Amino acid sequence: MPDLDARFSHARDVIRDAGKRAMAYYDGTAGDLEIEVKTNALDMVSIADKNVEAIIRDRIADAFPEDGFLGEEMGIEKGVNECLWVIDPIDGTACFVNQMPTWCISVALMVGNEVVLGLIYHPCGDELFTALKGDGTHVNGEPAKASDVSKVSDGLMGVGLSHRVENSAIVPFIADLFDREGMFIRNGSCALMMAYASAGRLIGYYEPHINAWDCMAGIILMREAGGWTNAFLDIADVLEKGGPILAAGPKVADELAQMTGITR
């Protein structure tokens, strides 16, 4: 097993520095943002995404040159060991470029097929959500726990959706949630909503299809906070193609799994 404590400590410094750089773009002090449209006006990448990812990769590679990387903007670069850093430099780019604060930076480390640490930094709120395997989940250093509500009607659910799936992949779930007197939010960032779920602010998070870099840190945050997530990493080719993600507080997990059709 590699030195996880050293990697965790280094990653905390790196993600905060990356957040400062991202905020300079967000505040407009780093110059005009260059925007590229990927598939439509809501699927975009900015120069900030690329530069922030480069900062994270370069800083981690300097300290741990044997590790590999998977990032939203730069793809995969395999290392010489089993360590793979999974990076989303700005999750919620559409919010970021439109001056809405619901975006974040997500960094996770996998060793083999297991997520062993995760960090999600929300620069606009200066909140750093962290999890290290076996050490619990923390928000700015304070312990955090997943929601302990027992019914979907007792809290607020996070929901994500995209044009990668048909309407039929999400509409029945929302209708069922309403029928059960539940309610949901969608703030534009999967990673940030999973971080909120790990802190008990949301009862869970569901998205029919998500990319690995959007949810990898959220998975260990949720599990170390006492919550549950589906076996995302057991999905075939999930690092390249993505898949469904469901995160839930421990007492509401059965109900949400039944509503989504995801195996508990």
Task: Answer yes or no: do 75 and 179 share one domain.
Answer: no
Give pLDDT tens digits for 57-69: 999 999 999 999 9
**Of the residues 144, 176, 198, the one at which a domain ends:** 144
Domain with 113, as residue range(s), is: 4-144
Q: How far is CA 196 from CA 34, 99, 113, 141, in A?
A: 30, 20, 25, 15
What pLDDT sits at residue 162? 87
CA torsion through residues 196, 238, 49, 98, sign: negative
| Least trusted range by pLDDT, from 98-102, 149-153, 175-179 | 98-102
Give pLDDT tens digits for 113-142: 999 999 999 999 999 999 999 999 999 999
> Once rounded to an integer, what is the mean pLDDT over residues 211-237?
97
- Strand ranges across the sheet with 114-122: 75-77, 68-71, 83-91, 104-111, 114-122, 127-132, 137-139, 142-144
* Exposed/middle/buried for residue 126 (C-beta within 10 Å: 0-12, 13-18, 19+): exposed
CATH number for the domain that contains residue 187? 3.40.190.80
**Of the residues 144, 162, 182, the one at which a domain ends:** 144
**Of the residues 144, 169, 188, the one at which a domain ends:** 144
What pLDDT sits at residue 115? 98
Task: Answer yes or no: do 16 and 121 share one domain.
Answer: yes
> Once rounded to an integer, what is the mean pLDDT over residues 244-255?
98
Report the Cα 245 to chain-centroid distance in Å: 11
